[in-house]
Chains A and B, each alone.
Chain A
């Protein structure tokens, strides 16, 4: 990854709730088309970092740059414009429970595009078919399974063909097969949309299967202690905490 390819840059980012610092001095770049993994033990601030990147929480210090442009120093209108290029799926899916799947996906289309009702319906069906939910347009989120909710949330996130897809623990609560299928879907989408993907997870199988860049946040050091390709980290990183994490606490394991 060359510098010119940097899509997202995290610059001296310090995250804090009041006086309580969660992570400090984070610096890393995410290349265009990367599948970037944010990993670390529970409570280290992975999801909080994501919230900083998608505009839900203002950093205590530092900034996030998208294509070299400051996100947090931009004015509200500019920031909203940048946010329109994001697609976000939340940990619980966060589908709007009072709307059908089709309405969930259609909401942003109706608001931010000039498509006609008929075109919107077609795009919605297409997006739902893309995540394997064709025919579920008129179901409400509570009528489908957790795995389907996650996929529907992904369809909603993709409605506007975003440049950047954010996933917060996509495989949490899914069985290994579903979680594998979701990984494949993410890879497919990255290739077809040409999007940059950022995933918060601690699912080792997923990390090695799809990640090509990563950062490890440590709750004790309160900063990042490793970054790079997960498989390279596994082989070359000398930090015992990172090794412990990547090998599930076992020191000597051959990696498939």
Chain B
């Protein structure tokens, strides 16, 4: 057995494409709207004190530390996790996985590893993109509805969030990426021997993925709190 990575580079490129660039449109829409919603929720309360400028803090911190990573992960669980489960499940039904095994390829290395690596690489990028789009959504509400200055809002955001806040979210997103890949691949590999089983595998990949995300998010948030970051 040689030490080289035992999956095909073309497969990897294809998976990267699937779970990176192709997810951008939906991430754009959802993140912008989440930023918008955060701004609205905050504005209703903060307006009572005339402190609407702090909407920038709320949206900035909310997106960077929490919502960017969380929303990206949930979108990817529904999009990519389900796709992974369906792909592997179909391969299981068609005996393609048996064929790999008998020909001396480990399905873990050949199928699961590239998918996990792809998500680990792409999630932080998507998360950063989502953070920025969320900030844009908040800025849009601030400028058009709360009569805040465009530059003033940005300055306030800049003061409110640090690189640390972004990294907190990015680290989360890597963890979520691994979990979404695990959920998708696990359910795909466990798939039964019929076409309806593939549907079930896809469904349970999404459910498992979302549970993993929310539970690990709570744990991470507590951990961050203990570490004081």
Contacts and interface: CB of A to CB of B under 8 A. Distances in A.
A107 B102 contact: no
Interface in B121-177: none
A112 B98 contact: no
A98 B102 contact: no
Contacts of A92: 94-95
Contacts of A54: 102
A55 B6 CA distance: 20
A92 B194 CA distance: 13
Contacts of B90: 97
Contacts of B95: 90-92, 94
Q: How large is the interface on B (under 10, 10 to 19, 20 to 34, 35 or more residues)?
A: 10 to 19
A51 B102 CA distance: 10
A111 B101 CA distance: 13
A96 B11 CA distance: 12
A112 B104 contact: yes
Contacts of A83: 102-104
A91 B193 CA distance: 13
A51 B91 CA distance: 17
B105 interface: yes
A55 B102 contact: yes
B99 interface: yes
Contact of A90 (B6, B8, B99): B99
Contacts of A97: 90-91, 94, 96
Interface string A49-79: 0010011100000000000000000000000
Contact of B102 (A86, A95, A96, A111): A86
Contact of B6 (A80, A88, A111): A111
B96 A96 contact: yes
A55 B101 contact: yes
A90 B94 CA distance: 9
Contacts of B14: 98
Contacts of A156: 99
A171 to B, nearest CB: 17
A253 B175 CA distance: 69
B94 A56 contact: no
A24 interface: no
A94 B104 contact: no
Interface string A94-108: 111110000000011
Interface string B1-13: 0000010100100
A222 B91 CA distance: 31
Q: Which of B6, B94, B103 has the most CB of A within 10 A?
A: B103
A84 interface: yes
Contact of B96 (A91, A94, A108): A94
A108 B104 contact: yes
Given A90-B95, A97-B94, A56 B104 contact: no
A95 B90 CA distance: 12
A91 B90 CA distance: 15
A107 B103 contact: yes
A96 B103 CA distance: 12
Interface in B63-110: 90-91, 94-96, 98-105
B94 A108 contact: no
Q: Which of A86, A98, A156 has the most CB of B within 10 A?
A: A98
Contacts of B101: 55-56
Contact of B99 (A55, A88, A98, A112): A88
A111 B95 CA distance: 20
B96 A95 contact: yes
A53 B149 CA distance: 74
Given A56-B101, A86-B102, A108-B104, A94 B11 contact: no
Interface string A200-241: 000000000000000000000000000000000000000000
A92 B98 CA distance: 11
Given A94-B94, A96-B91, 7 more contacts: A95-B99, A97-B90, A97-B96, A107-B103, A107-B105, A108-B104, A156-B99
